[in-house]
Structures are given as C-alpha cells and as structure tokens.
Amino acid sequence: QVQLVESGGGLVQPGGSLRLSCAASGSISSINAMGWHRQAPGKQRELVADITSAGTTNYADSVKGRFAISRDNAKNTVYLQMNSLKPEDTAVYYCNYRTLWGPSRGLDYWGKGTLVTVSS
C-alpha cells in the first residue's frame, strides 16, 4: 500500500506561481515514477509531468518551459513548480505514483487531488 498526500493547491492570478508537493509513504519501491496529472471539468485527465527515481523527466508540451518537476528520493516527495500560470492550467491536479520494477510493477497509486485555480 502506498499513500499519497498532496499540498500546495489554491487560487492564483494569471502569471503567478504555485508549488505542489506530494509525499508518498507506505510500501515504497526504490524504482518508481512519480508525477502529476490534471483534469479540468468535462475534460479527460492528462499527464502534466513525471519523473523517475533515476531523474528522467517528461513534460506535456503545454507546460514545457513553465513548469518544473523535481523529487527528493530520501523523502519520497515530488514537487511541481508552476510558473507563468494561465487560466487554462485550472484543474484538479492529481499526484501519481507508479511502480516500475519488482512483483508489483505497473501499479498506479493516486492522491485525492488538489485544486489549482488560475483566475483574475
């Protein structure tokens, strides 16, 4: 079992910044990927960014150059620094943990989500 606790969501003006955090606890594998997906009302959930335990990152084109994902392996925590926020970034952001190796490889765990609202 893996538990994910998210924080950092809120209301911000266009052009502003927020930093999301997600801490994983429980049966953590050293080989994993953590990241963020988002879902706006009436839209499909989409990948925002993810990062493996080895440090390999991946970003959606829509956020590349504005968002930065990082992690602290010792804390099992992933961060998403969001800069130059746009109204279209408004969504519920979900933390994701995925096992990549071992008997439980391929399993996904999800946080409850944190709402990011970008509005004037």
Total residues belonging to the chain: 120
Q: Given this model, what pLDDT does residue 103 score?
A: 86
In this structure, how many other beta carbons lie within 10 angstroms of the beta carbon of residue 55? 9
Kindly state the tokens that stand for 55. Answer: 């440090």
Q: Given this model, what pLDDT does residue 38 score?
A: 98
Q: Given this model, what pLDDT does residue 26 score?
A: 95
Kindly state the tokens that stand for 31. Answer: 């080989």
Q: Given this model, what pLDDT does residue 104 score?
A: 84
Beta bridge partners of 32: 99
φ, ψ dihedrals at 14, nearest 5°: -55, 135
The CA-based angle 37-86-46, given to 5 degrees, is 20
Closest CA to 106 of 25, 33, 23, 2: 33
Digitized pLDDT (tens) for each residue of the chain, 120 residues in all: 899 999 999 999 999 999 999 999 999 988 999 999 999 999 999 999 999 999 999 999 999 999 999 999 999 999 999 999 999 999 999 999 999 988 889 899 999 999 999 999
Q: Write the CB contacts of 73 (distance below 8 Å, at least 6 apart in sequence).
A: 30, 53
Burial class of residue 83, CB neighbours in 10 A (0-12, 13-18, 19+): middle
